[in-house]
Structure 1
Amino acid sequence: MLDEIDRGLVQALHIDGRAPFSRIGAVLGVSTQTVARRYRRLCAQASLRVVGLAEPRHAGRVQWLVRLTAGPHTAQDLAHALARRSDTSWVRLASGGTEILAVIQTPADASDGHALLLHDIPRTAGITAVSAHCLLHTYLGGPTAWRGRAGALSERQRRQLEPRRDESAESRPLADADHSLLTALAHDGRASHADLAAATGWSPATVARRLADLQASGALFFDVDMNDTLLGATAQALLWMSVAPAHLDRVAHTLAGHDELAFVAATTGPTNLVAQALCPDPGALHDYLTRRLGALDAIRTLESAPVLRTVKAAGPSAGPAASLPRGASPGRRPAR
């Protein structure tokens, strides 16, 4: 388990993944050396990694939450193949290891940008069922950290770490020249200006200016990949809910205020609200489902899919990209 300094460091990195250790130390009331030592230990023991991510709307991307069912002998291979693709994130094995959940990003304005959804996945051997749910609106997640990671710092400490924002720049799209920078940041959000300059062909000064602009406009945010069991979250589940449209926004805002949830989004499909629950143990998850969610009458149906393992989190996986195995599979149903 992590102590208060570790938790403060994790929250600080989520607020600004590139904040200097000296500034984090000043906010936490410890030395720069202590912050650096704790950071290295968390990287080694908690698989901590800071990743810089493009906000999908600024990047002209649409996110899809895809559920795949496969035979137990092929599900892990499929999950790892999906994890090695650059257009996927949050690849998880759930429901006894036979269900794969993944977030897939596609271009918002390209008619041929859905190859994985329309061509690769339907032709993949071993898949017995597919459903794809477009993420219409995210109420919790992305730039907003799970409260299990966000309770260590005071409001004053948070303000000291927050990067400068320019609300007038909210609508500025990303430029083509930003892609190399964002690709490098997705692998290492704390890469030095010199390393980012080498990846982009820009000067370090240009890199510094563009980073500041992207953060100020909200086009770039930072996430922290780590083992959340060290924060006490040993029971994880994806929750698929059906809510009457008239009540969807109200219910989603209510769920976004629940400490047990790390992600809440409205989706297309028969279940129009999805959430990720992180709880200390199965008993706590049961209490959450039956008491807090059970008290919301507007939730008409609820399906829970326990997450067994996260194969890929927000950042890219190591290793070369993999093609999905091709071929027909007896009994495979087409995507709808």
Structure 2
Amino acid sequence: MYRPDALDLCLLQALQLDGRAPFSRIAEVLGVSDQTVARRYRRLRTEARLSVIGTADHSRLGRTNWIVRLRCTPDAAEPLADALARRPDTSYIGLMSGGTEVMCAMKPRSRRDRDELLLDRIPRTRRVTSADACCVLYHFYGGPSGWLNKIDALEPAQEAALRPDPPETMDAPVALDPSDEALLELLRHDGRATVADLAAATGQTESGAKRRVTRLRRAGVLYFQVEYDHEPLGYGAEAVLWLKVAPPRLRSVGQALAGHREVRFAAAVSGRANIMASVLCRTTEELFAYLADRVGSIQGVQAVEAVPTLREIKTLTYDPRR
């Protein structure tokens, strides 16, 4: 099996920091040629199914994200997961341990879209035995802060040279116009789309399209994530943790989880479990040690349900080959 080397890992972390950074800029920071970066990028696309995806931060748009746990009969899990993955308002679909649970992260554009899925479609779906919908209340880690930022492949000076300016503080939700929507839709499929493609999608000049991307990034609406297969990096044990935490400790527990190398997403949520975290470990033994030694020692954690992920059906884009 292909295993990325140190330069590959540096490239992955560089793209996580700035998914649209030119290869020439990355090459200069890494001390290699442009051709070497381009060649490594192509190999990662083939061997690790690397892709850079532009993502909209719905909290900056005044929208609420939801995480839904669906339990169903064994024969229904995969068809249900595939159907949900085809929806444009879902950003993650996972088949969970036992093969009877599907976890769905959804980003409805409106209250009507939310109610259509949660109150109409899902309750009417055959062979779904139960559904728990959790509102995401607060993000501790994830989104622009991808897991690759924790692999420490780059030196601090290299990180500083590649890290884009932080988004501006916004008091009110950002309103999108049709050109913004068209641009976000294109970048959702290819975060490194050319300026010419962006101009064609928005009906603007290339300089106008570039300014629009810059404006959306500065507003915190647009950020970039790196998708890839974890196993070539040596990480084969994925799980979702549902934590029941004493309310006065919610913030401190979430902040502690955000600092753990194993955690790629953590948020406070509504429901019986009030913190949800997605973790990535090398082996099941390492996952056990993480639960027993690190999570178990955090003050305020009252109970933890660990649910291994059997297969990711959708991350940000739907690929029926997964």
Taking structure 2 as the reference length, the TM-score comes to 0.94
**What does 1:104-253 correspond to in 2, within 5 Å?**
104-107=106-109, 110-111=111-112, 113-146=114-147, 150-165=151-166, 167=168, 171=172, 173-177=174-178, 178-253=180-255
Displacement after TM superposition at 1:59 (Å): 2.4
Judged with a 3 Å threshold, the aligned counterparts in structure 2 of structure 1 residues 132 and 166 are, in CA distance, closer, same or farther, namely closer
Q: Is the 8 A contact 2:13 2:148 kept in 1?
A: no
**What does 1:1-336 correspond to in 2, within 5 Å?**
1-107=3-109, 110-111=111-112, 113-146=114-147, 150-165=151-166, 167=168, 171=172, 173-177=174-178, 178-314=180-316, 316-318=317-319
Amino acid of the structure 2 residue aligned with 1:140: Y
Amino acid of the structure 1 residue aligned with 2:52: V
Displacement after TM superposition at 1:302 (Å): 0.8
Deviations 1:232-271 (A, max 9, x none): 2111100001001101101110111111111110000010
Unaligned 5+ residue runs, structure 1? 320-336
Displacement after TM superposition at 1:150 (Å): 3.7
Displacement after TM superposition at 1:166 (Å): 5.2
Q: Is the 8 A contact 2:143 2:225 kept in 1?
A: yes
Q: Is the 8 A contact 1:189 1:222 kept in 2?
A: yes
Amino acid of the structure 1 residue aligned with 2:318: S
RMSD: 1.6
Displacement after TM superposition at 1:9 (Å): 0.8
Give distance in 1, aligned partners of 2:224 and 2:270.
Answer: 27
Deviations 1:286-308 (A, max 9, x none): 11111111112411111011001
Judged with a 3 Å threshold, the aligned counterparts in structure 2 of structure 1 residues 186 and 4 are, in CA distance, closer, same or farther, namely same
More displaced 10-residue stretch of structure 1: 222-231 or 262-271: 222-231
Judged with a 3 Å threshold, the aligned counterparts in structure 2 of structure 1 residues 172 and 297 are, in CA distance, closer, same or farther, namely closer
Judged with a 3 Å threshold, the aligned counterparts in structure 2 of structure 1 residues 262 and 41 are, in CA distance, closer, same or farther, namely same
Judged with a 3 Å threshold, the aligned counterparts in structure 2 of structure 1 residues 308 and 69 are, in CA distance, closer, same or farther, namely same
Q: Is the 8 A contact 1:140 1:262 kept in 2?
A: yes
Amino acid of the structure 1 residue aligned with 2:242: W
Give distance in 1, aligned partners of 2:277 and 2:5.
Answer: 27
Give distance in 2, aligned partners of 1:125 and 1:148.
Answer: 41
Judged with a 3 Å threshold, the aligned counterparts in structure 2 of structure 1 residues 168 and 260 are, in CA distance, closer, same or farther, namely closer
Aligned residues: 317
Report SS of the residue matched to 2:132.
strand
Amino acid of the structure 1 residue aligned with 2:272: P
Amino acid of the structure 2 residue aligned with 1:84: R
Give distance in 1, aligned partners of 2:232 and 2:319.
Answer: 23
More displaced 10-residue stretch of structure 1: 304-313 or 153-162: 153-162
Amino acid of the structure 1 residue aligned with 2:294: R
Give distance in 2, aligned partners of 1:228 and 1:46.
Answer: 8
Q: Is the 8 A contact 1:165 1:217 kept in 2?
A: no
Judged with a 3 Å threshold, the aligned counterparts in structure 2 of structure 1 residues 250 and 211 are, in CA distance, closer, same or farther, namely same
Moved runs in structure 1, 4+ residues, more than 4 A? 168-172
Q: Is the 8 A contact 1:256 1:264 kept in 2?
A: yes
